[in-house]
A and B are shown apart, each in its own frame.
Chain A
């Protein structure tokens, strides 16, 4: 078997999330170097605060200000920080119960080594220089010897210009491997050939092949060369320009079609060009057009043959 293909794949997405009133007050408070908690029905103070009581599910809105100092309740030493984590030098993950709070907040503790951390140690917030109303407005915690202050201050949670949402960017890096069947297909395409796979049970030829016959649920392994020409089985006219893709360079309107390559039992997708968009029709005979060095057909154009009879492709519409 030839070596399977691999390629880097980056999945990146900014999530824009709106905040409830309690979350908004908490995150705006961080921007103003004020830590707010919320009181539950039974008088516990939750930090970080939530919109609903975790036990009774009641809406809770009674905000209080807690201390910027607190006590470590558990920790873990992270000698190799990973991308996106609060510090890029070795640090301790900590759960910290801030003075006046009954629950703990997860964050990083900046200390030199694991011997400098213990459960029960006193710490305080180190604020980020630039604060925007996000959990990262707390840069990290740092050791701080101080007596525990249980003094809670009522707080109305009213800030000027309160944050109402966050944008949380996320990026995950992958090495994509398409597997055996698709590797064969992609490698053949690079040689300007279209190769499908035949189901040993129903004898249908799938292009592109995905390794399994979706009807029979068995592996397809017999390679079959198909095309290069094919028949338009159905199509649509695209009138809206695509954004952020290679297709952005294509002038609208254009035609996107299902094309049954000769010998295939499943139609694949492709763009039709070399013919006015309003003259494309079901049954139109087309062939692939390759760009110099292209690894796949740029588009399909009419062959000039007479249209295919509907009976020959109706199973694939």
Chain B
């Protein structure tokens, strides 16, 4: 039996993002975010008061700024009071919440945004605070170290080697030459080991940046966008938090999310994968069964710009924008959260046939 589609036709009708940069000292979070919100409102001609639901993703730990998401709301124009929600997660999960809200029929449009300002702190150390507080966090294993354990497991299993990882890095950053918003554009030397076997080139840049999308249902989507990127399915799955109980060379949560999202029903032409480390692309390609005929991360991916908490939403936005432009007919977008691809979200987006 073919899986039933979503309850309503919902599409990404606009996508905007900031330039992703190493530091943005001159801007507070709301100052960084606001122009991005204005981009998507302008693309659709909508005003804040036209939006049915607003949902955002961010983490106060990144910039060490308590309740930064409430101040970010200043950029939305939240008065008179709007219907709003926030997730302390990547904005891809905010998009999921907004999608569900539209599926309930309560609203027809949603604004989703996310931002991350990693420059004020040390993101490698900040991310240790999301780990198991009893057995893992007291050891302060930083995000690069955990990714390196996964990379070595892949090398030991014969799934990749350092040269292949360098190839992922080079391809991603070459692709980013076509993305004016990206931070690392063009191939660069792999550099020294950060945590062996991962080199500087295998790791994402430290980025400040923001992104926003607008979702709309049915005919409203067709009014707002010439070629909406219809969400044919979306699902997210999580694995055990303890690294030692997982097979780090595989991503069953990604595979299951993809299956539930309908990704395997027909081939996709594009995949925007949220793989901050080169080795993680290897895992995701395997889990998703992506062959060389699929354009993987034509935007450059998280290796070219990694605004933490927004990089997953950017994948959904980039995949949608490719459909908007007519460069893709069926795209897969993926977002991840937690160490070593612990939690994964997969969405399948489609454009309607062009006449």
Contacts and interface: CB of A to CB of B under 8 A. Distances in A.
A104 B77 CA distance: 49
A172 B134 contact: no
Interface string B129-145: 10001111111111001
A85 B126 contact: no
Q: Chain B CB within 10 Å — which of A15, A46, A82 has the most?
A: A82
Interface size class of A (residues with CB under 8 A): 35 or more
A114 to B, nearest CB: 6
A85 to B, nearest CB: 5
A6 interface: yes
Interface of B: 25-31, 34, 37-38, 48, 61, 63-65, 71, 73-79, 120-122, 124-126, 128-129, 133-142, 145-146, 148-153, 156, 193, 195-198, 240, 242-245, 248
Nearest to B248: A74
Given A134-B138, A213-B77, A179 B244 contact: no
A6 B259 CA distance: 48
A11 B28 contact: no
B26 A179 contact: yes
Contacts of A106: 135-136, 139, 141, 149, 243-244
B120 A177 contact: yes
Nearest to B153: A74
A179 B65 CA distance: 12
A15 B193 CA distance: 33
A46 B242 CA distance: 10
Contacts of A75: 149, 152
Contacts of A11: 64
Given A76-B195, A172-B126, 8 more contacts: A19-B134, A48-B135, A119-B156, A176-B63, A176-B65, A211-B28, A212-B34, A217-B78
Given A46-B245, A78-B195, A175-B120, A212 B30 contact: yes
B140 A179 contact: no
Given A9-B64, A211-B30, A212-B75, A103 B193 contact: no
Contacts of B134: 17, 19, 23, 27, 48, 135, 166
Nearest to A212: B74
